[in-house]
Structure 1
Amino acid sequence: MEPINIITTEELEKKIENGEELNLIDVREDEEVAEGMIPGAKHIRMNDIPARIDELDKDKEYIFICRSSRRSENVCYYLQDQGYKVRNMVGGMLDWKGEIVF
């Protein structure tokens, strides 16, 4: 299995601060995102990814986010197998020190 590209919470925070164009997808459950999301992230629950895969563009890179980075890693493996460019935010929201929106 091809290893998954990762990004740390610090690296992501810097990219956001620099105003980089990013495609962030939060795969947590509704009650988890209610506690706050990274600004600009799109919410697609992990279990909804297969049904909503056509919303993703194979020419773009997506950064996946969850609570601890385990679910997002699973999503990354699944999508990478389908030919998508993905990156997993390691440490998840537990490690996120940046801004959050509700």
Structure 2
Amino acid sequence: MDAQTQIELEAAAFRTLRKHLMEERTDVQNIDMMNLAGFCRNCLSRWYQEAAAEKGITLGKDEAREIFYGMPMSEWKANYQTEASATQKAEFDVAFKENVTDKQG
């Protein structure tokens, strides 16, 4: 497979993941994703922002999240986010430290 085809396939897979999380599985909470997989929608939007920065494109945190969520974060939270349990919050503290805080150095 040539490099351009690989890039196109990877981009298509990313777009499908984004659409799946934005439109088909809005019931899946970010905290559950982080606790189980070590990343969430916010991580994906941050990775998008970091990729833009590598290309010299300035993209703010809120702007990157809106691109990924398809709406402002406040709207997403109001429409789809549920209150996390004490257990979920405790698991998140560990997952965030292991998957985000430690990696940011």
| Range of TM-score over shorter length | under 0.3
More contact order relative to length (CA 8 Å, sep ≥ 6): 1
**Higher gyration radius (CA):** 2
By percentage of residues, which structure has more helix?
2
By percentage of residues, which structure has more strand?
1
For normalisation by structure 2, the TM-score amounts to 0.25
For normalisation by structure 1, the TM-score amounts to 0.26
